[in-house]
């Protein structure tokens, strides 16, 4: 079995974001770190090589192994800002108010740029997801 890549590490969040090539995505990522820190009350931490996460969630994998992942997180990917917020009560209603976004079948939320959405709704979604 291969080793998980998405684990907490001591890489610098600041350096990771500074190396995002797209200037708009880099600026948005800086703002998202602030929004998530406010919503969670936690400091940003790198999870794997490309996910900025806040807090920690422990669960048992289907194979019986104990696993940890960030409670909420995001990645400033080339195609979009990708958010990992999980499924929480009121998610469907919040998404209706959020603004321009896409969803994946796996629950990821994609936003092209922050100006496309209501950041107060997004911050509220982050806070609700963190409380799960």
**49 occurs within a structural domain:** yes
Q: Which domain holds residue 69?
A: 8-131
Taking the C-alpha atoms of residue 56 and residue 123, their distance in angstroms, rounded to an integer, is 18
**43 occurs within a structural domain:** yes
**87 occurs within a structural domain:** yes
pLDDT tens-digit map of 6-61: 888 999 999 999 999 999 999 999 999 999 999 999 999 999 999 999 999 887 87
**80 occurs within a structural domain:** yes
Tally of domains within the chain: 1
Strand pairing class (109-111; 102-103)? antiparallel
**75 occurs within a structural domain:** yes
**58 occurs within a structural domain:** yes
Q: Which segments of 1-132 are extended strands (E)?
A: 8-9, 45-47, 51-54, 57-60, 66-69, 72-76, 81-84, 102-103, 109-111
Strand pairing class (66-69; 57-60)? antiparallel
**123 occurs within a structural domain:** yes
* CATH number for the domain that contains residue 110: 3.90.1150
pLDDT tens-digit map of 86-107: 888 899 999 999 999 999 877 7
Per-residue pLDDT at 3 exceeds 70: no
Strand partners, 81: 76, 111
Write out the two tokens for 88: 């929480």
Place of tokens 């499924």: 87
Give this prediction's pTM: 0.91
**107 occurs within a structural domain:** yes
């Amino acid at each position: 079995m291969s080793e998980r890549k998405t684990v907490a590490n001591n890489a610098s969040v600041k350096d990771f974001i500074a190396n995002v090539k797209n200037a708009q995505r880099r600026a948005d990522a800086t703002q998202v770190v602030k929004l998530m820190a406010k919503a969670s009350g936690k400091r940003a931490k790198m999870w794997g090589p490309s996910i900025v996460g806040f807090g920690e969630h422990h669960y048992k994998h289907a194979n019986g192994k104990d696993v940890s992942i960030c409670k909420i997180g995001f990645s400033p990917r080339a195609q979009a800002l990708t958010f990992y917020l999980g499924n929480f009560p009121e998610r469907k209603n919040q998404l209706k108010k959020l603004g321009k976004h896409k969803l994946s079948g796996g629950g990821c939320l994609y936003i092209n740029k922050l100006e496309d959405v209501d950041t107060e709704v997004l911050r509220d979604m982050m806070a609700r997801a963190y409380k799960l």
